[in-house]
Structure 1
């Protein structure tokens, strides 16, 4: 198995197209055609993680956080990032990062938090905008079904729990082929009228390359007329954070004690506890202050996240409890999720969970 075969499997879970624009995801170090000797899964790629990969003959590190976030202008070993990249290259170790692609996945980071906390009926808290596209194209009536089938096979036409969704309108198309054209129908220099079908079909942006390939390969015309628009509609399976419910309401302090234990938090910074039991819980792994308003609007009793600043706790406004349990603590189970996923997809292959402690925050 080569690296790009492994990354293809990972991108079935978390397509890179769903990552945030500011992020740096995918294969950051290495050659995609390299044969994989073993896979080491980690939350962060540190020197100790690279050493661990070397010791266990793993030449592919799958890391949640990207070691290269902004551009590197030199590799002199002056910073920890440069030293890690140099060591990885020297020992032919590839590094692949998923980060916000996995954050935005319905079975990703936040789903794992919900699982650990025992939440039910979980849904995406902030669906990602711009994730749904609509393709419109025009095809002779006799070729319409073949083209639709190819587009469906490529991943288009899925809406929620429904597949093979499309809308067609019949009409008459016209064109005049130029001297260098090779028209499927009609003659050069003559205006041709053809009974056509307008096909309208939606798809998620992650499958756009495959959908366009199917369009061009299966459309009968030499020149394919098509339009693509980004819709305001949201896909409820792509987005940041999740919200779910406890099976039974709990006293706020009792619930936070439970969170502390289950998430292995050494401390919880929280806003004012309210005088009512809690049941509806919002979660967002990593830095989640931007989602405070969304959690309140969704009716959350508690919002669990990290990296909350002093004044941001005021935004709870006595409508919910904001609980900062630590950045590492919210994301620590992500590597377990990835190991379980890869083990199911690639049984009988060397997949290791990193034993390196990568939390940079220490407590007295």
Structure 2
């Protein structure tokens, strides 16, 4: 039987919690990870109506994009909708899980869903996340090279863009002298040894460091494997904020806004002043992404699509690019289908449902 932890482990192999922003609160927020899953309800926001829907549809796990617990909760008195949701979930034994900025920061996350709706091509992360990559260097006898290399790859090392099993090894000479307490793989106590060795190097996501080192120690024949871990300045081009790409064809300003409105089924668009050039290169960020405006402009975007743009931020466009605020809910609603599709690939034996409750708190007259 599938447990909640089976679901969350799978999701976190896709969108690791290490990639969430410092202010965020992703992961399992309410519930016992060892509970058997009866059904899963996927939503953008958790509300009392969503919890009622989960109960009626016999779903005991809700997977939401936005975390219901965002700020610390000091009381559970039912004074706010968040507190009422917490009480309701605990009473009904419904677990609540959030995939938020850890999924936003994936190249195939919410921003990719928006980009696909618009038919953008040549997609790249707008602002890659720094300090996410490390390199392991180790030294080992020739006979152990392939065994250790494969163990490190199985632990998650060696991925560079669209390539896996990436590594480098070179041949050299190692020296060591065991003391009387050592149990050396090669050599004798108090005798200086000189042996031929391979130097093996692999790159890996920094959050996997513990697993990588453990895998090295388990597969390496030496009593005390020699290794180094180095922080890399290289950017992981698969992880970061926003996406930038190109439209299939250039659009005049009004035609672009009409295209955007139709493709994303929008009620309205708030936008900055029209620009002189046609729109071809588009940057976007689901949710509140105005902090990426300067990067979008630096990379030559003709338009920047996001939400929650304040009045004064529209001035910052300076008629160099078109800012389009499409609404927070509207920019992220495709996340439900994205999560549903990902879970369907692995858990065909579990009831998976997308919530039918409309949770957008913003209404238009």
Shared fold, TM over 0.5 = yes
Distance 2:172 2:22 in 1: 40
1:61 is aligned to 62
1:314 is aligned to 315
Distance 1:181 1:82 in 2: 59
The gaps in structure 2 that reach 5 residues or longer are none
Shift of 1:178: 4.4
Q: Does 1:266 align with 2:267?
A: yes
Name the SS for the 1:241 alignment partner: strand
Distance 2:49 2:207 in 1: 34
1:23-63 per-position Cα deviation (integer Å, ceiling 9, x unaligned): 21111111111100000000011111111111111011111
Distance 2:80 2:183 in 1: 59
Shift of 1:190: 4.3
Shift of 1:268: 1.6
Distance 2:162 2:265 in 1: 36
Distance 2:214 2:255 in 1: 54
Farther-moved stretch of structure 1 (227-236 vs 99-108): 227-236
Shift of 1:187: 3.3
Q: 1:16-55 residue pairs with structure 2 within 5 A?
A: 16-55=17-56
Distance 2:66 2:273 in 1: 32
Distance 2:50 2:178 in 1: 61
1:153-178 per-position Cα deviation (integer Å, ceiling 9, x unaligned): 22211222333322223333334444
Distance 2:141 2:41 in 1: 52
1:323 is aligned to 324
Shift of 1:105: 1.2
Q: 1:349-364 residue pairs with structure 2 within 5 A?
A: 349-364=350-365
Q: 1:274-285 residue pairs with structure 2 within 5 A?
A: 274-285=275-286
Farther-moved stretch of structure 1 (266-275 vs 169-178): 169-178
Query: Contact 1:16 / 1:206 at 8 angstroms: preserved in 2?
Result: no
2:291 is aligned to 290
2:157 is aligned to 156
Distance 2:21 2:172 in 1: 40
Shift of 1:180: 4.1
**Number of residue equivalences:** 364
Structure 1 pair 74/140, CA: closer, same or farther in 2 (3 Å)? Answer: farther
Q: 1:33-112 residue pairs with structure 2 within 5 A?
A: 33-112=34-113
Shift of 1:179: 4.6
Name the SS for the 1:345 alignment partner: coil
Distance 2:331 2:104 in 1: 11
Distance 1:190 1:93 in 2: 64
Query: Contact 1:77 / 1:86 at 8 angstroms: preserved in 2?
Result: yes
Distance 2:213 2:73 in 1: 34
Distance 1:47 1:334 in 2: 20
Structure 1 pair 79/194, CA: closer, same or farther in 2 (3 Å)? Answer: farther
Farther-moved stretch of structure 1 (216-225 vs 201-210): 201-210
1:347 is aligned to 348
Query: Contact 1:50 / 1:87 at 8 angstroms: preserved in 2?
Result: yes
The gaps in structure 1 that reach 5 residues or longer are none
Name the SS for the 1:72 alignment partner: coil
Query: Contact 1:2 / 1:36 at 8 angstroms: preserved in 2?
Result: yes
Q: Give the root-mean-square deviation of aligned CA atoms.
A: 1.9
Distance 1:220 1:353 in 2: 50
Distance 1:170 1:192 in 2: 17
Shift of 1:66: 0.8
Shift of 1:266: 2.7
1:15 is aligned to 16
1:98-126 per-position Cα deviation (integer Å, ceiling 9, x unaligned): 10111011211011101112222222111
Distance 2:3 2:357 in 1: 25
Structure 1 pair 107/188, CA: closer, same or farther in 2 (3 Å)? Answer: same
1:118 is aligned to 119
